Amino acid sequence: MENPWLRGWGFFLFFYQKILSQKYRIKEIGILINTKAKENISNLLRNIDTTLSKRKRKESPQKK
């Protein structure tokens, strides 16, 4: 005869493990999104830097 308390504990452990794996997956996705965002931001800043330096180069001969 099976103990109903043990069966309940088994269900609890099963669902707890499911929840933990889901949390880990969510965390992994968050890390991926963060790294992508950081790459995009660094690319954006690089583009802004290059456009600003090009503008300065264009404007500097006119000032002289």
Predicted pLDDT of residue 11: 84
Segment 13-60, tens digit of pLDDT: 888 888 888 887 878 888 888 888 889 988 988 998 898 888 888 777
Give backbone dihedrals phi and psi of 48, rounded to 5 degrees, phi first: -60, -45
Q: Domain residue spans in the chain?
A: 32-64
Predicted pLDDT of residue 63: 55
Q: How far apart are CA 45 and CA 54, in angstroms?
A: 14
What is the DSSP secondary structure assignment for residue 1, as one 8-state letter? -
Q: How far apart are CA 18 and CA 35, in angstroms?
A: 26
